[in-house]
Chains A and B, each alone.
Chain A
Amino acid sequence: EPEVTQTPSHQVTQMGQEVILRCVPISNHLYFYWYRQILGQKVEFLVSFYNNEISEKSEIFDDQFSVERPDGSNFTLKIRSTKLEDSAMYFCASSELGGAGPQHFGDGTRLSIL
């Protein structure tokens, strides 16, 4: 069964550094998402992406964040200048039908900011 893959599984970065989290969505999916989950807390929506542009973003997704689909397979989340509070699990998801259907999640990247 096709799946969403995320790399790296764990990223440790110094505060203030840039970090890029990578995702390979399921190949025929058109809708892409990033979420974050601080340890023990709920899954928080960051951004959705469709037709090569951001469809919607949350208050968390400020100017420090950006997303890109640089080629036909990858979907990346960049955090420009990381803060301690950016430490969390970051999940990528993709969907064939957008909000009308299920989302398929990767296993996440654990981001630790020192």
Chain B
Amino acid sequence: SQQGEEDPQALSIQEGENATMNCSYKTSINNLQWYRQNSGRGLVHLILIRSNEREKHSGRLRVTLDTSKKSSSLLITASRAADTASYFCATANTGGFKTIFGAGTRLFVKA
């Protein structure tokens, strides 16, 4: 089954450090997306990278995609306490109607 799985499961860093989260998936994709979830809230879309793209930037976020390894990484640079949240990667099936989320990485940024 198509599935995004992140590692690490949890990450604790100091404010100002960079945080890197990885995601692996199993089948062909059209795009891969990263979402953020603050405790008790809905998911917020961060960034989408298409299968023909290798890297994408948005503010302090950098996403890479390696389709040969079926993996992606999300880098948050110069982290802030407000970045504390869970981060999920998500992939859609070929028709685009079914989105599978990974188990997520829980990031804790200490002030």
Contacts and interface: CB of A to CB of B under 8 A. Distances in A.
B99 to A, nearest CB: 6
A107 B41 contact: yes
Contacts of A44: 101
Interface centre among B41, B42, B101, B104 (most CB of A within 10 A): B42
A74 B15 CA distance: 42
Given A42-B102, A43-B88, A99 B97 contact: yes
Given A43-B88, A45-B98, A100 B30 contact: yes
A31 B97 CA distance: 8
Interface string B30-63: 1101010100111111001000000000000000
B29 to A, nearest CB: 9
A50 B101 contact: no
Contact of B42 (A55, A56, A91): A91
Contacts, number: 66
A48 interface: yes
A1 to B, nearest CB: 11
19 contacts: A4-B42, A31-B97, A42-B101, A42-B104, A43-B101, A55-B95, A55-B97, A56-B98, A91-B43, A98-B97, A99-B95, A99-B96, A99-B97, A102-B48, A103-B33, A104-B45, A105-B44, A106-B42, A107-B40
Given A48-B99, A93-B43, 19 more contacts: A4-B42, A31-B97, A35-B101, A41-B103, A42-B101, A42-B104, A44-B101, A48-B97, A48-B98, A56-B95, A58-B98, A91-B43, A93-B42, A98-B96, A99-B92, A99-B99, A100-B31, A105-B42, A108-B41
Interface of A: 4, 31, 33, 35, 41-45, 48, 50, 55-56, 58, 91, 93, 98-108
